Structure 1
Amino acid sequence: MNWEEVKRDVIAYSRQIGIDKIGFASAEPFTELKQRLIAQQQLNYQSGFEEADLEKRTNPALLLPGAQSIISIALAYPSKLKDAPKSKRGERRGIFCRASWGQDYHHVLRDRLQKLEHYLQERLPSAELQSMVDTGELSDRAVAERAGIGWSGKNCSIITPEFGSYVYLGEMITNIPFPPDTPIEDGCGTCNKCIEVCPTGALVQGGQLNAQKCIAFLTQTKGFLPDEYREKIGNRLYGCDTCQTVCPKNKGIDFHNHPEMEPDPELAKPLLRPLLTIGNKEFKEKYGPMSGSWRGKKPIQRNAILALAHYKDETAVPDLIGVLCNDPRPVLRGTAAWALGKIGAPDTGDVLEKAKSAETDEDVLKEIEKGLSLLQNR
């Protein structure tokens, strides 16, 4: 079998089904990555969302016995929101990160990988294949780097020469001996913009991220947000794009290659106040198709409260009082109490004192005290 010829055919077919870039890597263990992951664990820099078994994360043969190569794919997503609605007084808006615009990318990439699987199985009936996207065991970025899709930037994203870092990644382990591609040389050079502007200092150094401090991670947590990060969230409802938007390699990059990735401006940048009382059914109908909804509505509602505090939006005070007095979830009641103190509208002290007398949850009571303290220190 002429594997170079098969590889060329696979590349041609990938373009037909809407894969923007494809690369091929060996299925050798990722030994260097393993050492980095061990260090990350020791430093407690991991988010906890990752696969816990480091052997599975770094040895493709454990996921597919007889693995010989890995196919890496990349799909470019939009970076600019057309007809973006304006956030204005009384109608403040939050923002979902670009990677959450449009249809959930997991579904989009799985569709492309499934088509690629069917093609390979028809062409090579003995082919054994194992595909994954984001939530799989392997590191998408490590595979993409080895496959020559792009280099691993200081912002911990894969940066491609063609599409910048605005790409979704997926991979397929195979028992096919595809000739590997050559990794791309690092293109970051002496640039440190992403490290310098990271809002929480989560980028410890080039290529090393403390996920526990990363806003993209923090927006997905479900508990009370630590005090030191509340004001740094800004109006972000899910994710953070700062380390990408400042990257010189992303300047002028904006691809609209895939209809299913096109964002609805009203969902990508929604009004904040309606989010506080949105029901489960409406939330699933509106936001369910977006990847940013995977943790449910509670983190997004908490972040919406923090965003209203960020704007010091007095028009939202009645909504926040409603959450404080009526929401059954302590995290939202407590965050609303803190936000009311932050906004500092007239009579807020009376509202907080009344809520304090009726509240039984210790965590919420602490947040009410924080709100009262903010009022006193204005």
Structure 2
Amino acid sequence: MRIADLQAQLIEYAKSIGVDKIGFATASPFHELKNRLRRQQELGFQSGFEESDIELRTEPLRLLDGAESIIAIAIAYPSKMKDAPAGKKGERRGIFCRASWGIDYHVAVRERLQLIEAWLAERVPDVRIKSMVDTGELVDRAVAERAGIGWNGKNCSIITPEFGSYVYLGELITNIPFEPDTPIEDECGDCTLCLDVCPTGAIVAPGQLNSQRCIAYLTQTKGFLPDEFRGKIGNRLYGCDTCQTVCPKNKGKANWIHEEFTPDPEVAKPLLSPLLSISNKEFKAKFGHVSGSWRGKKPIQRNAILALAHFKEQSAIPELIDVMKKDERPVIRGTAAWALGKIGGHEAQLALQGAKERETDAEVLTEIEKGLALL
């Protein structure tokens, strides 16, 4: 079969399995990206979650011998929640970012990549393929940009004309020399809204992110959240959408396309207080299917405590005192102590003074002192 015919048929097949955009790129090295990644490393702007070997991230031939092209796919996810519950005094709620609504996107994207792999293997006997989504070596956004899926926005997201930046990305490196697509022209213009409103100033320049300051990254860490960011996290339990929600290119992009990404409002916007005492089993049953659960319950619980402090939720004081007294994990005990100080009141003050006498962990004692100082 002619490659042009194979490519045309693949585009049709991809649509039939729920791929919203497909593009093709050469497998040549990403030279400009390599320089950018080196600079990011030098500046200490990386999160630590990404592949550390820059050569592997920028040279497809190191990942697949004989690589000729890369197939990039994008799947749109919703930006709006139907019947979203409203939090109120006594029933405060947290929020998971939109990329963690519905089924874990790693599963959804990987399923489609595997179907494309099987489809190609049936038609090209000697085909070689390496596919990846998010946790792979290649930089998904760089591949998508080269393949004409969208342009790399100032908010460090791929922005598509059809779905805005609310898309999951995946790619397949292959030894089939597909005709490459033309990259899309950048349409950000002189808009800087995403830079202007980033809560922590993590977008240091157009298209340049200091991951160490990004709330999306910070919500996934397991230690104490640095003091500087505690007042900025709001009620975010996992991820941050601010730089997407303010983007004019996302206006009107609801993307209610795939049933599997439709959020359960009680999972995407859960009540905060029950999270403080949720068991591992309960956490897995309720949140195990969403991408935001990948780091386990500890970061989510820490963030829930910070959210209760953000709301100054008086009704949570007894539960926070219980957590400060009984939880085995210093990070959770200490964060609860800080939160009690932030919320304030006589009951919180007495509890903190009592905890100061009992506590033996140095870091927790520091948080108790911070709590008392806030009072």
Q: Does the pair score TM above 0.5?
A: yes
Judge conservation of contact 2:356–2:365 (CA < 8 Å) in 1.
yes
Judge conservation of contact 1:317–1:345 (CA < 8 Å) in 2.
no
What's the TM-score once normalised by structure 1's chain length? Answer: 0.99
Secondary structure of 1:86's counterpart equals: coil
Q: Which residue of 2 aligns with 1:314?
A: 314
Q: Which moved more, 1:257-266 or 1:358-367?
A: 257-266
Q: Which residue of 2 aligns with 1:185?
A: 185
Q: Which residue of 1 aligns with 2:243?
A: 243
Aligned residues: 375
Q: Which residue of 1 aligns with 2:339?
A: 339
Q: Which residue of 2 aligns with 1:133?
A: 133
Q: What's the CA shift for 1:174?
A: 0.2
Q: Which residue of 2 aligns with 1:370?
A: 370
Q: Which residue of 2 aligns with 1:85?
A: 85
Q: Which residue of 1 aligns with 2:267?
A: 267
CA distance in 2, matches of 1:173, 1:202: 31
Q: Which residue of 2 aligns with 1:44?
A: 44
Judge conservation of contact 1:76–1:163 (CA < 8 Å) in 2.
yes
Q: What's the CA shift for 1:5?
A: 1.4
Q: What's the CA shift for 1:125?
A: 1.1
CA distance in 2, matches of 1:290, 1:256: 17
Q: What's the CA shift for 1:60?
A: 0.4
Q: Which residue of 2 aligns with 1:105?
A: 105
CA distance in 2, matches of 1:360, 1:346: 23
> Counterparts in 2 of 1:199-348, with a 5 A limit?
199-348=199-348
Judge conservation of contact 2:195–2:205 (CA < 8 Å) in 1.
yes
Residue type of the partner of 1:284?
K
Q: What's the CA shift for 1:2?
A: 2.1
Judge conservation of contact 1:74–1:169 (CA < 8 Å) in 2.
yes
Residue type of the partner of 1:370?
K
Judge conservation of contact 2:121–2:127 (CA < 8 Å) in 1.
yes
What's the TM-score once normalised by structure 2's chain length? Answer: 0.99
Q: Which residue of 1 aligns with 2:356?
A: 356
Judge conservation of contact 2:25–2:71 (CA < 8 Å) in 1.
yes
Residue type of the partner of 1:129?
I
CA distance in 2, matches of 1:138, 1:345: 51
Q: What's the CA shift for 1:67?
A: 0.2
* Deviating 4+ runs (over 3 angstroms): none
Provide, for residues 71-95 of structure 1, a one-character-per-residue CA deviation record: whole Å limited to 9, x for no partner: 0000000000100001000000000
CA distance in 2, matches of 1:53, 1:218: 23
Q: What's the CA shift for 1:167?
A: 0.1
CA distance in 1, matches of 2:347, 2:153: 50
Q: What's the CA shift for 1:3?
A: 1.4
Q: Which residue of 2 aligns with 1:62?
A: 62
CA distance in 2, matches of 1:6, 1:257: 27
Judge conservation of contact 2:321–2:348 (CA < 8 Å) in 1.
no
CA distance in 1, matches of 2:18, 2:126: 25
Q: Between the two proteins, what is the percent identity of the paired residues?
A: 70
Cα RMSD, aligned residues only: 0.5
Residue type of the partner of 2:195?
I
1:14 aligns with 2:14: yes
Residue type of the partner of 1:77?
Y
Q: Which moved more, 1:197-206 or 1:3-12?
A: 3-12
Provide, for residues 7-31 of structure 1, a one-character-per-residue CA deviation record: whole Å limited to 9, x for no partner: 1110000011110000000000001
Secondary structure of 1:23's counterpart equals: strand
Secondary structure of 1:169's counterpart equals: strand
